[in-house]
Every structure is written in C-alpha cells, then in structure tokens.
A and B are shown apart, each in its own frame.
Chain A
C-alpha cells in the first residue's frame, strides 16, 4: 500500500520504462500509418507525374516522326498506350520490362523474362503485361472489373490493336509463369494466335497471388490523321 502511493508520486524505473515503451509503440503505430499513406497515396502522385511526363514524350515523338517511315520501335519511353474502358483509368503507357524501376513510374510493362513477350504487331504470340494493383499509379487496380467480352485496346503510333477478353484467372500462384506462354494453355487455347495477357497481384493491398486476364486480337485499325479511337473507346 505504502509503496504504491510512493510510486504514484514519483514513478520508479519500471513505470518510466513502461511509459517509454508505450510512447515507442505509439510512434511505431504512427510510422506504420504514414507508410500506408505513402504506399496508397504518395506513390500514386509520384507515379502519375512520371507516367504523364513519359507519355507526353511518346506522343511528342510520334507527332515529330509523323512523316517518317513506319516503325514501332521502343525508344525507351514506351511503345504505346493501353486503353481498357472497363478499368476506367484512361490510358496506360506501356514500356519494356517488368522491373520495379519501370513499373513504379505508373506504367504497364511487357515481360522480357522469364518468358519474353511478343509485340502486338507480331504475326503470332502473346503480348504479356504487368502493372501495379495498388500504389505506384495502381494502373491495374480495377482488373477485377474486366469481364469476358470486354475490349482491351492497344494504341501504337500507327495502329489500334483491338483485343477481346476471353478468359480470366482470378487467382494463381506467383510462380505460375505458364500464363505467359505464347499459347496460354491455361486460358483454353491450343493454337497459335495473337493474344494479350494482363497480370497483377491479388487480393488488393497484398501480393500473395496473381490475377490474370487473357484477350485475343479481334482486329487492327489504322490510325487516321485525327487519331479517331476505335468504336470500343467512344
């Protein structure tokens, strides 16, 4: 009894240590909270800024080389723009590679490894893309809004490649590289064709599994002088 009265007046080393620990825990909580703000908000701000800058550069390059011979070279700034109306996020710049340095700029990347992606203009093959689900632009955040039959349009300097979603794999292992094969058997295809594959992580806010959407080419439209988008985007 006497000891507790004494301790209340002047905290002993244990009470002081406990209150220090409490403050450290509160501090840790605040830091973790800030990390969430950073991940889900600030990285989007930075990534959208970078993506807009790089996208503008690609459009400028296209405009500047209007009269030159056609060619769809990857200038390092990106090869074109992905339009997925169902994701309602405007256009997504597509660049080479799927490393964090590429994807963190708020773009989608086409795979160079473990299985090399085909390009849309190739005769056959699978155009395989990855982008962030959350943070860093979160360009594939709404991938779960895509349904079979929805259009995916890829815009290059000279062509609109119009794909249609035909298969969705809502959850698969992150080691399942087979989904990137030129003929993605898991999607039900057995013959070579012109496919597109979108990959991102799932469920949202984690990266335990991968979400995969497959589409196949429906048609290619030439870009006209006004860059009129195909009907799917109007």
Chain B
C-alpha cells in the first residue's frame, strides 16, 4: 500500500486501472479489450435477462393485473 492518497495526481478509476495492468501499452490494451468483452458477455448472458422483466418495456398482453 502506498502512503500517497489514491486520488493523488490522478483522474478517475480507469486511469488507475490502466496503471495497474501489467506489461507495456499493447499488452494493457489487449487485456483491457478482453476484460471489456468479458463484461459485455456477463451483461448479455446474466444481467440483462435478469433485469428485463423488471423493466416496463416488453409487456405485450392484456391482463387484469
């Protein structure tokens, strides 16, 4: 742990994230891309299917409720 505060001389979480990735810029970019795709996968596979019925965009039937 550094004694310097986390916000010191920085701007935001993504630059913090970038600095903590290993390797040179190309490796960092590659890892970022893979992680971004993993996030999209988790969203499409698990999060959105769960969230969709809770949102009022897709009810098509008439009913009493």
A: residues with CB less than 8 A from B are 10-13, 15-17, 19-20, 22-24, 31, 34-35, 38-39, 42, 98, 100, 103, 111, 113-114, 130-136, 140, 172-177, 179-180, 199-201, 205-207, 210
Instruction: Report whether A207 and B14 are in contact in the complex, using a CB–CB cutoff of 8 Å.
Output: no
Specify the main secondary structure of chain B where it touches its partner: loop
What are 5 sample pairs from A and B whose C-beta atoms fall under 8 A apart?
A: A140-B60, A172-B62, A174-B62, A175-B63, A207-B60
Instruction: Report whether A199 and B43 are in contact in the complex, using a CB–CB cutoff of 8 Å.
Output: no
B: residues with CB less than 8 A from A are 5-14, 40, 43-44, 48, 51-53, 56-64
Q: How far is the CA of A102 from the CA of B58 in the complex (A)?
A: 13
The answer to whether A20 and B12 touch (CB under 8 A), given A31-B43, A35-B48, is yes
Instruction: Report whether A132 and B44 are in contact in the complex, using a CB–CB cutoff of 8 Å.
Output: no
Instruction: Report whether A11 and B11 are in contact in the complex, using a CB–CB cutoff of 8 Å.
Output: yes
Instruction: Report whether B12 and A19 are in contact in the complex, using a CB–CB cutoff of 8 Å.
Output: yes
Instruction: Report whether B60 and A199 are in contact in the complex, using a CB–CB cutoff of 8 Å.
Output: yes
- A174's nearest neighbour on chain B, judged by CB, is B62
Instruction: Report whether A206 and B57 are in contact in the complex, using a CB–CB cutoff of 8 Å.
Output: yes
Instruction: Report whether A39 and B60 are in contact in the complex, using a CB–CB cutoff of 8 Å.
Output: no
Instruction: Report whether A10 and B60 are in contact in the complex, using a CB–CB cutoff of 8 Å.
Output: no
Which of B14, B44, B64 is the one whose CB lies under 8 Å from A42?
B44
6 pairs of A and B residues whose beta carbons are closest in the complex: A16-B7, A207-B59, A19-B12, A23-B12, A38-B48, A130-B61
Q: How far is the CA of A42 from the CA of B49 in the complex (A)?
A: 11
Instruction: Report whether A201 and B59 are in contact in the complex, using a CB–CB cutoff of 8 Å.
Output: yes
Instruction: Report whether A205 and B62 are in contact in the complex, using a CB–CB cutoff of 8 Å.
Output: no
With A23-B12, A199-B60 given, name 13 new contacts (CB 8 A): A23-B13, A23-B14, A35-B43, A35-B51, A38-B43, A39-B52, A98-B60, A98-B61, A111-B61, A131-B60, A133-B60, A175-B62, A175-B64
